[in-house]
Structure 1
Amino acid sequence: DPLGRRVEQDCDDLGNINRVQLPDGAAWEFTHDAMSRLRQSIDPSGGVWQRCYDQYGRLNETTDPSGVRAYRHHNTQAQEITIGDAHASTTVTLDVWGRQIAAILPDGSETRIRYDRAGRPVEYTDPAGGSTRIERDPAGRPVRIRRPSGASIRYDYDQCGRVAGIRNELGFRTTLTYNQDSQLIEEVWPTGEKGWSRYDPCGRITARFSPGVGRYSWVYDKTGRVIETRDPRNGLRRFRYDPAGQLTAAVAGNGGVTRYTYDLNGRAVTVTDPLGAVSHHVFDPMDRCLSTTNALGATTTWGYDPAGRLIRSVDADGHVVETAYDQAGLETATIVDGATFSHITRNAAARQVQVEDHSNPDHPVTHVLTYDPRGLLTQ
C-alpha cells in the first residue's frame, strides 16, 4: 500500500490460496481437498478451523479451534436438512424444488412457508399458529402484508417499480419521492412533515434532514473519504487520513484534536485525546485487543479461547472476570474474583430460562424467564 506495507499470498497448482502473510509477519494457512474445497484454516494464533463435506460437496460440519462443532446434514430422500450443534438442532423440510416449506425448531414447535405458482412466498405460519400473508401485484411486488393480528401494511409503486407509498395499519400514508438515479430525495410523513436527502454526482449523500432531528451534512475528498460532517449534536467535525486511508485525526467543533496511530496491520495502537493524554492498545495476531493502558498507566487485559470468545478480563485494580461456555459456545456462567457471579440455564431453543444472580452472595436471586411458542418473552 502507499505506506509500503505488503500482503503476500501463495497459491497451489490449482490456484487455491494456501497461505497469506500479513505485513507484521503473521500468516494464515489454508488446506483444500482435491475438489478445491476449503478443508482447514490455521489462523495466526495457531487455531485450527475444520470444514467437512458430504459426498455431493455440500458443507455438512464445521469445528472451531475450541472444539465447538456445528453440523448441517442433508437427507435427500426425505428432503430434509438437519442444522444443529451440541446444544440443539432444527429440521428443515424442502419441497421438490428445494424451497423451505417447514421447520421443526429445537423445542418441537413448527413454522411453515407457502408459495404461489411463481415460487414466491405468500404465507408464513409461526410456531403459535399465527399467519402472515403477503399479497403481490402481477410483477411480484408485495402490495399488502397482513399480520397474524389482522393488521395490514400496504405498499404502492411508481412506474419504475420503486416504493412510492407505505400505508400503515391505521391507514396513514408515507409518500416517497426519488430522483432520476432512483435515490430517495423526499419522504412526506402522515403528519405532513417532510424529510429530504441530497446527493453529489457520485451518488454519495451530502445532506439529510429529518423532522424533529435536524439537518446532517457530509463533505468528501477526491477518494470518497468523509472529511467534514455537521450535525445538531456534534456541530462541525473534520477528519484527516494518511496515504493508506487510515483516520489519523478527528477535529471536533471546539478545535480539539483526537489523533490515531496504527501498527503494520492497520490496528489503532495509540489514541491521543485533545488534552494530550495517550491510551495504548495491544492486539494479538487475530486483531483481538489484549490490553489497553490509559493515560494514567492503568491497564486492563483480556484473554480469549482459541475461537476468539472472551473468557477472562483483568481490570486495573486486579479484579478478574471469567466467562464460561457450553459445548455449543453459549455463555453459561460469569465468575468474578473466583466466585460465581451469575449462572445461565437454557432451554432446547438456547433461550435463557433461568439466571442465577449472585451479585449479593448473602441473598442470591433466581430470575425465571418464560417465552411463548414464537420465542417472545412473556414473563
Structure 2
Amino acid sequence: MSKVKTVMYTWCDIFRAFKMAFDPKKMVLGYAGLLASLAWCSLVAAFFSALKLIDTTPAFFTKLVLFSVKESVQVIVKSVFSSLIPLDFGKLFVFGVLVFGLLMIWSLVGGAITRLAALDYAKDESGQLSDALKFARKKIWSYFWSPLVPVIGVFFFALCNVIVGLIGRIPVVGEVFIAIGFPFALISGFFIVFIGAIGALGLCFMFPTISAEGSDAFDAMSRAYSYVLSRPKQFLFYCMINVLYGLVCLFVIAFVAWLMIRLSFFTVETGMGQKFSSIQSFISQKCNIACLGFCSAASPEVTTATISLDRWTLKFLAGMLIVYIFLIKLAVWSYLTTYLFSAKTIIYFLLRKEIDSTDISDVYMEENEQKTEKAEMTEKRDEELSSHGDKQENSFPDKERNR
C-alpha cells in the first residue's frame, strides 16, 4: 500500500517565500506596481511643482531607484519629514493625493499578489493572473480601506483631544472643564497608542486576510488585531524569521544583479577600451547607479572632474545603459515586494491555523474558480479511472493465458 504524505505546516514554511516570490506572475505584478507607482509620483510631482506647491521634480523619484539603498532611504525619510513637520497644508494636500494614488495601485497589485500566494501556499496550485486581478478589482475598496482603518481611528481620538483643547480656550469655564475632564484625554491618548501600535504591527495581515477569506476591511482589521494580541510571541518570532531570511534573500538577489552588471561592464570595457571607460565615468558622476549596496565611495577623480561626451552616439549609449540598469534595479525591488507579500501570506495562514484552528487549505473561492477547480478534479479523476481501466485490460490476457 502507498504511504500517505503528511504535511506539517510549521514556521519552516516561511522559507518557501523565496521560491514563491520568483513566480513570473507575481514578479510581473510587482514590476507593474513599481512602474505605475513611479509614473504616478512623477505625474503628481510635475503637476503640483508647476503650481508652485512643491519643489520636487519628477526626476527625483527616478533617482530614488538609481541611488543606492542607503541613499534612497535617507532621501525618502528626509522628504517625508520635511513635508509633514512644518504642517504646510499645501504639501500635506499633495502628500494626501500621492498616498491616495499609491494605495489604489497597491490595493490592486498587492491584492492580486497575495491572492496568488494564498492559492499557491494553501492549495499548492498556480492561480491564473487574470483571475487574481479580477478578484483584486472586485475587492479593491476592501484592500484600500484596510490599512486606513487604524489611521482613521488614531485621527478620530486625536481630533477628540483637539476639540477638548479648543474648549479649554474659553476663560475660566474652559480651564475648569480641562481640569476635570483631562482623564478622558488620557484615555483617548491610550487608544491612540493602542490603535496605532497594534495597527502598525498587524498591517501585514490585512491584505492576506481579504485574499484568503474574501472578506472586507473591518474583518481584516479585526483579524489583524486579534492575531497580534492572541499570539504575540508567535507573531514576533515569525516576523523575526521573515525579516532575517528576507535580508539574506535580498542580499543574494542584489549581489547577483550587481555582479552581473559589473562583469558586463568589465568585459565590454575590455573590448571597447577607453571609450567605454569615459562613458562609465560620465554615468558615475550623475549617480552611482550600479551600486546596489555593494560599491565603495566614488574616487575623487570622478567626483571632481567634469566629464562630457562629444558625440551624440556616446550620449545615446550612456542613456541606454542607465535605462538597462534602472530596469535591473527595479527587478530587485520587484522581488523584494513579491517576497514580502508572499511571506506575510504564509504567516497569516500559520497564525490562522493556530488561533482559529482553520485548515490551511480553506481558501475563499469564487464561482468561476470553483468551476475551474471542479473541472480539474474531474479531469484528474477521469485520468485515474482511464489508467486504472487500462491496467485491468492489460491484466485480462494474462488471466486467459493462465487458464
TM interval, shorter chain, is under 0.3
**Could you say which structure has the greater relative contact order, defined with CA pairs below 8 angstroms and 6 or more residues apart?**
2
Q: Using structure 1 for the length normalisation, give the TM-score.
A: 0.19
Higher strand share: 1
Higher helix share: 2
